Amino acid sequence: MLIRVVRVVSLIAGVAWSLVWLAGASAQGSAPDYVIGPRDVLQITVWGQADLSKDSQVDQDGSVSFPLLGRVKAAGLTTGALAVRLTELLEKDYLVNPQVSVSVKEYLSKKVHVLGEAERPGLFYLTGATTLLEVLSRAGGLSKTAGKQLILVRNAGDSAAGRGNTILRFDLTKVQAGDASQNIRLEDQDTLFIPKAHAYFVLGEVKSAGTFPLDKEVTALEALTIAGGFNDRAAPSGVKLIRRAPDGQQETISLDLSGANSQDRNVKIQEGDTLLVAKGNTFFVFGEVKRPGAYQLEKETNILEGITIAGGFTDKAAPGRARVIRSTATGQQVFEVDMNDIIKRGQRAKAMMLQENDVVVVPESFF
């Protein structure tokens, strides 16, 4: 009779404890499908048994050490399945109707790496079923220079069996829209890489100079508009487009964005282009000088003085092949200037005077 009463009391207590445990699990937002792994720290509670309730870290072999039971396999089980296993083992030899709950106190077994253009790139531990978008949120979102593509490197298994890393690509726009085919769940050891966007630069006398993503076709005028337009000091007719050619050489293109030349306004921006808007009454010095850029033409200035203002030649300069590019009403003119004649041979008359919007280019020496 006494045994029956004890069992009834235990059963009632067990039901009450189960309700408390379920409420607690719901409040904590625990993930019932989380699979335990090595290094996870588990909080194991046995109702009414303070000596048996403890925090245990899962060893590298996947087991936890538990009073009375010794080592119990935990890795590969969900928290609920481990609670059932512990209940069975305790009930078999030690306790009547034990009530056991298991939760993860520290998630340390499953991790992913976020690299590249995130606000807080780094290592993140998975706390259950975690999607791409959730990990991006934990990494602080994307930086301003991030592109529209995500690259996921996944360990597909045993490389010796021919199943090495798999590279998956995702469209950020679709991920953010919740597209299930794109916003996938991440797995242990995944590496998420966020590349930089294809970008261009707008510098100088605009309202919002900076780096801008080239995620669609953009004209010179549109690029200028995106950068806030000209400020009060700008010279709209003297804009320079600086572009790196396939052979590595720098190309400088003069653009009139004042509205007089619609063809210039529709020039397509390419990856890596720099749109430089100078002040009015400005000349430019590019190439192998120490401080390339735009300079104010405040007085009569010849080519030698202009190069000197730009810091002089670098060690790689070819002074004998300098040139001046000048925009005229009929198009561009190019003047070849051998600076050695001026500097070494004293032929000062060859030091041509610079005009507004002139571009001085000092190429690199071949030797």
Domain-located, residue 32: yes
Does residue 69 form part of some domain? yes
Among candidate residues 18, 35, 19, the one with its CA nearest the CA of residue 81: 35
**Residue 343: its pLDDT value, please?**
94
Q: Same domain, yes or no, for 90 and 230?
A: no
Domain stops at, among 58, 81, 106: 106
Q: Are residues 220 and 258 in the same domain?
A: yes
pLDDT of residue 32: 65
Residue 131: C-alpha distances to residues 38, 57, 68, 141, 170 (Å): 22, 26, 39, 14, 13
Q: Are residues 7 and 96 in the same domain?
A: yes
**Considering the entire predicted model, what is its pTM?**
0.51
Residue numbers of the domain that contains 346: 199-362
Residue 367 located in a structural domain: no
Q: Establish if 66 belongs to a structural domain.
A: yes
Are 87 and 158 members of one domain?
A: no
Task: Indicate whether 21 and 69 sit together in one domain.
Answer: yes
Where among 62, 79, 106 does a domain terminate?
A: 106
| Statement to judge: residues 121 and 84 lie in one domain | no
Q: Based on the fold, state whether residues 28 and 121 are members of the same structural domain.
A: no
In angstroms, the CA 109 to CA 74 distance is: 12
Domain membership of residue 95 (yes or no) is yes
Check which CATH number belongs to the domain holding 287 and give it. 3.10.560.10
The pLDDT, as a whole number, for residue 156 is 62
* Residue 215 and residue 321 share a domain: yes
Q: How many structural domains comprise the chain?
A: 3
Contact partners, residue 254, CB within 8 Å, separation at least 6: 238, 239, 240, 241, 325, 327, 332, 357, 359
* Predicted pLDDT at 226: 95
Do 336 and 212 lie in one domain? The reply is yes
Last residue of a domain, one of 194, 215, 244: 194
Examine the domain organization and report whether 170 and 205 are in the same domain.
no
pLDDT in tens, the chain (367 residues): 433 333 433 444 444 434 333 333 333 335 667 899 999 999 999 999 999 999 999 999 999 999 999 999 999 999 999 999 999 999 998 999 999 999 999 999 999 999 989 999 999 999 888 999 999 999 999 988 888 888 898 876 544 433 456 788 888 888 988 898 899 999 999 999 998 888 888 998 899 988 888 888 999 999 999 999 998 888 888 899 988 777 767 788 889 888 766 789 999 999 888 998 888 888 889 999 998 888 888 788 999 999 999 999 999 999 999 999 998 877 789 999 999 999 999 999 999 999 988 999 999 987 6
